[in-house]
Amino acid sequence: MPPPAVLCLCFCLCARAAAFARDGDYTIAGLFQIHSLPPRAAARPQVDACDDASAFRSHGYHLVQTMRFTVEEINNSSTLLPNVTLGYDIYDTCSESANIHATLRVLAQKGQHSIEMLRTFRHYESRAVAVIGPDSTKLALTTAAILSVFLIPEISYEASVETLSLKRLYPSFLRTIPSDRQQVKAIVLLLQRFRWTWVALLGSDNTYGRSGLEALHELLSAHDICIAYRGIIPSNKDASSPELHHMVRILMDIRVNVTIVFSSKQIARPFFEVVVQENITGMVWVGTEDWSLAQTVWHVPGIQNIGSVIGMSIKQTESMILKHSEPWKSAEESASSTGAGGGNGGSSRESTQLNCTQGCTGCRLLTTAPDEYDTKASYSVYTAVYAVAHGLHNLLGCASGACSKDRVYPWQLLEKIRQVNFSLHENQISFDANGDILKGYDIIMWNWRGPGWSSDVVGSFSVNPDRLSIDQDKILWHTKDNQAPVSVCSQACQAGEKRLQHGRHRCCFSCVACPAGTFLNRTDLYACQPCGRDEWAPARSEACFNRTVDFLSWADPISWALLTPIALLMLLVAGLAVVFALNISTPVVKSAGGKMCFVMLGALACACSSLFCYFGEPTRLTCLVRLPLFSISFTVLLSCITTRSFQIVCIFKLNRKWPALYEAWTRHRGPALFIGGSTAVQAALCLLAVSASPSVPRRNYGASAEQVVLECSQDSSQSATATVVYNVLLSACCFAVSYLGRDLPENYNEAKCVTLSLLLHFACSACVLTAYGSHPGRPLVAAGALNMLCALAALLGGYFLPKAYVVLFRPELNTAAHFQMSIQRYTRRRAPP
């Protein structure tokens, strides 16, 4: 902050008074741009006066009239600030220096015309209690910075730049125009709505354009919209400028179909003149609130051919325009009639002071009819004045019926203004924590279908929460087929294809199908994600599917096909046991092994019951038990048959050749030893297998992509193979012994049957062993169980069934006499001739 002495000096030098003024209990200052500085080169350094009639701006003038009207309306009101009159000072901020001057005027202490030493800010009572304006971002930044020192409330109606929301820097700044932050959000939603992801971005060369561009750039990148080109439209150029032509040619070269122009209207005009000259057609132009309704832009000759213009404009209710326009016009009338002499307007100082006002004598002649943009800005001014009035109303305690008319320090008023919440023509007016008004935008579209230019409201953007709604039916695209144009770098990929980015733009990509086992999550289109372990996916998939769980369930038809014979087999075993028990003393049963038969039948039953472990979901118990149980039982069975065959061979053949051997075999309980021994070996092998790698249930994911196979881990391990091999060896042994006895008497001779059984068993095993290498799963488990079942059934059928047949149906063969006879016949045959 400059020292007070400097302020004072500056103030004395430029002793200008307000252009329009009216006294009141409390004064509100208004900063409006009524003239603009014409671009002229000064011959010597000089301060420009705001009095050039040729640079008169009717927009500012309309706003001034709005402020006058509003203050008057509040003054007349009996409910708002009763018995309190508001005054106003209006300044023309045609240039930066004029703006600073006006700001300093506002700061003048009440009742005086110069700034004195500022002892304490807290008790500083300025001439104006609040400031409305100024309009442009550039001027507002200066004013806001100065006024913030004294916390004098400043409410701008047109400065939308986001920086001003920073309350740390500009604590006393508020505004009745939404911050550009909102506008940027609305534009991004608009682009998303039409899926325009490949756009050009242009901003004007001033604070408005540059900061808007910056904010847009940031937000667009966050939303996966790519900026094909980003440019700054130079200011102070006219349509013949080569720079502008160059920029527009670039736009044509990059072939985007959508261009966002974040520009103030003065800079947008020459740009669009160049666009028309370069014959650009069919483009979509997204406009910001400042130029999208500005007459100066749509007045450009030939602009109707540039394509579709869709833009933002400050939201406004219809009723407001209607209610407001009538008195506004009358205010305008009165202004023009009072300008000359200051008759009834109370503008006593007006004529004696600034030449600007004399310029305004002819103001009515200079002004153009207010357009929509003027109306909207006027409403912002209207709102701002009302906000001050409501703040004052609360501060003075007018709610009780009488206002206190106390001394008002600006910081007190600022506090109240920030809290106001009132309704104005059915709109609820309040400020957010940043001092920004809570207000949305209308989405408007230019319409050239009629005789001239008009604009349609095609949608709206509402804040808190941010929401964009577009009415498709109202949109008239200026394209050949009346369809919404597309603007994308690469066409979207087919379902299940990921994007492979080319270069630095995410929007430019080629498509690659996701391989099997991965899927494309819609939330990330640039990578295929692997499926979970229990899931699978085909190529080009957008989802994973659960793998089917594969195991031999109890309910499976295959299971039934196996369980039925197993059950029958067990019944048969039980039946045989009963038959043999009843006929234990008959020769056939004795020759079959006598009591050993029951051991064999028991082993068979055990082996059979082990088959049940192959059905249902594998559990720790079934996995652990099924192989050892079967192997050991089967070993017992084979050992018994071997012993029995060996014994018979001994009796008939070895006994005669080596009687001592047979003697030793029977004396030392050979059969029991052999059976016990071989079973022990098998048991040891099983124990080894279990301790080396205990069989546990596991999920096999490798078998196929779509399935997870539930199996026991040991099914194909080496130690498990050892037990099988042992049984095979034992079978071979059994086979050999049986084969030796092939020529024995018929009723001792089961060699043929046992041989056949064992051959069958070998064949089955061979089949299953070759199948082991192939696809695991249900069929394999079933095949394994079937193999065991066949082996058991074959042995049962080969060994026990012929005997049971004789016992049951040929009792005449089941006699000691018959056996005697056949032995004699055999010995006779064997006897040497």
- Where in 557-616 is the site for ligand NAG (CB under 6 A)? none
Of these, 133, 178, 339, 485, which contacts ligand NAG (CB under 6 A)? 485
Near ligand NAG by CB under 6 A, which window of 484-492, 564-572, 659-667, 726-734? 484-492
Q: Is residue 525 involved in binding ligand NAG (CB under 6 A)?
A: no
Near ligand NAG by CB under 6 A, which window of 296-304, 405-413, 480-488, 672-680? 480-488
Helix (H) or strand (E) holding 794: helix 778-795
Instruction: Give 546's strand partners.
Output: 535
Q: Which amino acid is at 175?
A: R
Q: Is 288 helix (H, G, I), strand (E, B) or coil?
A: coil
Q: Is residue 774 involved in binding ligand NAG (CB under 6 A)?
A: no
Q: Is residue 73 involved in binding ligand NAG (CB under 6 A)?
A: yes
Backbone angles phi, psi at 144, to 5 degrees: -60, -40
Of these, 546, 666, 774, 815, which contacts ligand NAG (CB under 6 A)? 546
Q: Is residue 358 involved in binding ligand NAG (CB under 6 A)?
A: yes
Q: What angle do CA 461, 462, 468 make, to 5 degrees?
A: 40
CA–CA gap between residue 699 and residue 722 (Å, rounded):
24
The rounded radius of gyration (Å) of the Cα atoms in the chain is 52
- Where in 19-48 is the site for ligand NAG (CB under 6 A)? 22, 24
**Cis ω for the linkage preceding 370 (within 30 of 0):** no
Site string for ligand NAG, 374-403 (x = CB under 6 A): ----------------------------x-
Q: Is 754 helix (H, G, I), strand (E, B) or coil?
A: helix
Backbone angles phi, psi at 770, to 5 degrees: -70, -35
- Reading phi first (left if > 0) and then psi (alpha if -120 to 50, else beta), residue 535 is in beta
Near ligand NAG by CB under 6 A, which window of 81-89, 184-192, 734-742, 754-762? 81-89
Of these, 114, 241, 427, 430, which contacts ligand NAG (CB under 6 A)? 430
Nearer to ligand NAG by C-beta: 462 or 655? 462
Neighbour-count burial of 304, counting CB atoms closer than 10 A to its CB (0-12 exposed, 13-18 middle, 19+ buried): middle
Q: Is residue 255 involved in binding ligand NAG (CB under 6 A)?
A: yes
Near ligand NAG by CB under 6 A, which window of 80-88, 161-169, 337-345, 698-706? 80-88
Q: Are 709 and 551 in contact (CB under 8 A)?
A: yes
Of these, 46, 120, 400, 523, which contacts ligand NAG (CB under 6 A)? 523
Chain-centroid distance of CA 798 in Å reads: 70
Of these, 79, 240, 279, 319, which contacts ligand NAG (CB under 6 A)? 279
Q: Is residue 421 involved in binding ligand NAG (CB under 6 A)?
A: yes
In whole angstroms, how close is the CB of 197 to ligand NAG at the nearest point? Answer: 9
In whole angstroms, how close is the CB of 422 to ligand NAG at the nearest point? Answer: 8
In whole angstroms, how close is the CB of 348 to ligand NAG at the nearest point? Answer: 11
Q: Is residue 462 involved in binding ligand NAG (CB under 6 A)?
A: no
CA–CA gap between residue 75 and residue 830 (Å, rounded):
147
Q: Is residue 85 involved in binding ligand NAG (CB under 6 A)?
A: yes
Q: Is residue 428 involved in binding ligand NAG (CB under 6 A)?
A: yes
Near ligand NAG by CB under 6 A, which window of 485-493, 549-557, 636-644, 684-692? 485-493
CA atoms within 13 A on the CB side of 275: 27
In whole angstroms, how close is the CB of 16 to ligand NAG at the nearest point? Answer: 10
**Cis ω for the linkage preceding 171 (within 30 of 0):** no
Of these, 38, 82, 341, 694, which contacts ligand NAG (CB under 6 A)? 82
Dihedral sign of CA atoms 672, 678, 681, 686 in order = negative
Q: Is residue 256 involved in binding ligand NAG (CB under 6 A)?
A: yes
Site string for ligand NAG, 547-566 (x = CB under 6 A): --------------------
CB atoms within 10 A of CB 668: 10
Of these, 46, 54, 76, 344, which contacts ligand NAG (CB under 6 A)? 76
- Which is nearest to 697 in space by CA: 625, 797, 612? 625
Q: Which long-range contacts (CB under 8 A, 24 or more apart) does 667-670 make?
A: 670/643
Summarize as ranges the residues that interact with ligand NAG (CB under 6 A).
22, 24, 69, 71-73, 75-76, 82-83, 85, 87, 198, 255-257, 278-279, 327, 346, 355, 358, 402, 421, 428, 430, 485-488, 521, 523, 543, 546
